[in-house]
Structure 1
Amino acid sequence: MTTKTLPLLLAAGALVTSALVVAANAKPTRAARPAALASATLKAIDGTPRGKAWIANRNGRWELKIEVTGVAPGAHGAHLHTVGKCEAPDFSTAGGHLNPHGKLHGTANPQGPHLGDLPNLIAGTDGKGALTAGLTGTAAQLTAALFDADGTAVVIHAGPDDNRTDPSGNSGGRVACGVLTRG
């Protein structure tokens, strides 16, 4: 080893040590959420925030995810509705369930389901709940159905959906609503 190489080796060692210290102190990062095709902010009738919803492609499958807070514990019907309007006093401006293929309501209905029929969202005693539901169709098909002339809303109902009764599953009043927007 010559006197010229010793400073180079010391400098390289210092760089490696610095890199290891930085890596050891780095905070872990969460996995990036896939880019959303659509998203919505859910609100109660009085405008209080109630959660969010988004549609994204995960592992080649389109999924709708909904997260809510401040709802009653238990099961709640959740649906995509035909009109992108969420107006008081009861969110009836969101129309009926999104049903571009003319099916009957419910995943348990042999002549169903609507595109807008989703599993029940289950909220815990803390008022928080979530659901993930697969959606059928390509990005182009979903975009056409969701972003037609009057848009689409995500609606959370007061009670559980029976997954069978046409047209709405007897899921009760609408307690949260959000309009889907692109991305």
Structure 2
Amino acid sequence: MIIGKGAFEMNKMSWAMIALLPLLTGCNAPDASTPPAQDDSVVAEEAAPDAAGVLPTERAVADIKTADGKPAGNASATVDDGRVMLSLQVEGLPPGEHGVHVHMTGKCDAPKFESAGAHWNPANAQHGLEAPAGQHAGDMPNLVVDANGRGKLAYELKGATFAGLMDADSSAMVVHAAADDQKTDPSGNSGDRIACGIFKAGQAVGTPTG
């Protein structure tokens, strides 16, 4: 069979195109050495607040114990629009009114808890919600404990910052034996310290029920 010159040239070109095809397709293949782009949705999920809208770095919890080491509740400090909000829940404490304060040092050495230092007072103000030149950043209303030994209190710490609360030596939540008169320096005649907890970043170990 005789193949014309034109047909032979076309055949030659077809075989050349077939030979180049793998090279051409390889140029469009993704570069395996280039790492995949980071998924922004994953980063956003890791940095997202919890269900209460609070970032982990904006929460501190103190697990409160009595002088004999028994659990007595917890205090939780969170940040809301720049304000430090404190929520206190106690159990197993004597019924009645009790002075409660944030103290300046995160130490709770039983039985007297004197290691917690004085009230948290970065502005060097006078003690008490009723003091004309008050109040300490750690001052709070009295906690009312019911006949079952339970009590709750929520309050905005006036003049407080979360950075100050969680400084190098942290701070402590202290419950006193008697009511705070809210005007007498340095602690409102609120008596002995009967329970104490050190503020730490994170969640409470246990929350009173009921």
> Scaled by the length of structure 2, what TM-score is found?
0.67
Matching residue's letter, 1:170: N
> Scaled by the length of structure 1, what TM-score is found?
0.76
Give the whole-Å Cα distance in 2 for the aligned partners of 1:94 and 1:66.
18
Q: Which runs of 5+ in 1 are unaligned?
A: 1-31
Verify: 1:164 aligned to 2:186, yes or no. Answer: no
Tell me the equivalent position of 1:53: 75
Give the whole-Å Cα distance in 2 for the aligned partners of 1:92 and 1:53.
19
Q: Any conservation in 2 of the 1:34–1:56 contact (CA below 8 Å)? A: no
Q: Any conservation in 2 of the 1:153–1:177 contact (CA below 8 Å)? A: yes
Tell me the equivalent position of 1:123: 145
| Cα-Cα RMSD | 1.8
Identity of aligned pairs, percent? Answer: 47
Verify: 1:149 aligned to 2:168, yes or no. Answer: yes
Verify: 1:81 aligned to 2:103, yes or no. Answer: yes
Cα separation, partners in 2 of 1:34 and 1:162, compared to 1, 3 Å:
farther
Verify: 1:174 aligned to 2:176, yes or no. Answer: no
Aligned pair count reads 150
Q: Deviations over 1:123-155 (max 9, x none)?
A: 000000010011245xxx623211222210000
Verify: 1:70 aligned to 2:89, yes or no. Answer: no
Tell me the equivalent position of 1:24: none
Q: Any conservation in 2 of the 1:34–1:57 contact (CA below 8 Å)? A: no
Q: Which has the larger radius of gyration?
A: 2
Give the whole-Å Cα distance in 1 for the aligned partners of 2:144 and 2:53.
24
Q: Which runs of 5+ in 2 are unaligned?
A: 1-50, 203-210
Matching residue's letter, 1:45: A
Give the whole-Å Cα distance in 2 for the aligned partners of 1:146 and 1:61.
12
Q: Deviations over 1:63-109 (max 9, x none)?
A: 10000001111100000001100011200000010000010000100
